Amino acid sequence: MTTIMRVNPNILIEKATEELKKQKLVQPLEWSQFVKTGHHKQRLPDSEDWWYARSASILRSIAKLGPVGTEKLRTKYGGKKNRGHKPDKQFKASGSIIRKILQQLEKSELVKQAQKGVHKGRILTPKGISFLDKIAVQIAKKKE
């Protein structure tokens, strides 16, 4: 897990996006090409691979934050909404997108539901840890 946090997160997410797409561990749903990623956004995502990128980012967030649920991820991926002359206001990201991605990652056996003390949420499975770790090791070797 330590190598996952030591490498550049942008590169890790980029490589994980490619792997998730290549191995078909997650699949964008039919409606995903028509939705915004949250109430605070004005447009649809530019990239056609945004579903895979969000999945890879969520995977890394789970590795970093431990047992994490939909609400915490909604807050993490949320942002400020431009409300014209009124002050900007913080809004959460779409819960449906995050929930569907978490369900797909569970189906691929990369994450599972768990409870650590009072904290409930999803954590990485050994398969998920090795998936991210392999990518992180490849990035670390290229850097040397």
pLDDT digits (tens, 9 = 90+) for 21-65: 888 888 888 888 888 888 888 787 778 888 899 999 999 999 888
pLDDT computed for residue 36 by the predictor = 82
Model confidence band, residue 144 (pLDDT cutoffs 50, 70, 90): low
pLDDT computed for residue 86 by the predictor = 92
| CA-based end-to-end distance of the chain | 19
Total domains, the chain? 1
Taking the mean position of all CA atoms in its chain, how far away is CA 71? 13
Domain carrying residue 62: 2-143
* CA atoms 124, 3, 5, 28: torsion sign: negative
Tell me what the mean pLDDT of segment 126-140 comes to.
88
Nearest to 104 by CA among 36, 52, 61: 52
Tell me the CATH number at 16. 1.10.10.10
Determine if the pTM surpasses 0.85: yes
